[in-house]
Amino acid sequence: MKFVYNTGIRAYTSAIKTASIFNNKAKLWVDGRKNIFTKLEADFKQNTAKIIWIHAASLGEFEQGRPLIEELKQKFPEKKILLTFFSPSGFEIRKNYEKADYIYYLPADTPKNANKFIEIVKPETVYFIKYEFWQNYLFTLYKQKIPTYLVSGIFRKEQMFFNKSGKSYRKVLNYFTHLFVQNKTSLDLLKSIDINNVTISGDTRFDRVIDIANKTIELKKVAEFCDNKQIIIAGSSWQPDEELLAKYLNSTKFDIKLIIAPHEIKEQNIARIKKSINKNILLYSDIENSIPKDYDVLIINNIGLLSSLYKYANIAYIGGGFGVGIHNILEAATFGKPIVFGPKYKKFKEAVDLINLEAAFSISNYVEFESIFNRFLTDNKYLEKTSEISAKFVQNNAGAVKKILLKT
pLDDT digits (tens, 9 = 90+) for 308-329: 999 999 999 999 999 999 999 9
Rounded Cα distance between 161 and 237, Å, is 34
Domain ranges of the chain: 2-202, 218-396
Could you read off the pLDDT of 150-166 as tens digits, one per residue? 999 999 999 989 988 77
Percent of the chain with pLDDT over 90: 89
Identical fold for domains 2-202 and 218-396, yes or no, is yes
- State the average pLDDT over residues 52-75: 94
Give the C-alpha distances (Å, rounded to integers) separating 197 from 12, 320, 326, 363: 31, 35, 32, 39
pLDDT, residue 400, reads: 95
Architecture of domain 2-202: 3-Layer(aba) Sandwich (3.40)
Residue 132 has pLDDT above 90, yes or no: no
3-state secondary structure of 123: strand
Fold of 218-396: Rossmann fold (3.40.50)
The answer to whether 269 touches 300, Cβ cutoff 8 Å, is no
Could you read off the pLDDT of 352-392 as tens digits, one per residue? 999 999 999 999 999 999 999 999 999 999 999 999 999 99
Provide CB contacts within 8 A for 5, sequence distance 6+.
Answer: 135, 169
Cβ atoms within 10 A of the Cβ of 94, count? 19
pTM over 0.75: yes
Q: Which of 276, 303, 299 is nearest to 287 (CA)?
A: 299
pLDDT, residue 359, reads: 97
- State the average pLDDT over residues 293-300: 98
Could you read off the pLDDT of 266-279 as tens digits, one per residue? 999 999 999 999 99
- State the average pLDDT over residues 93-116: 97
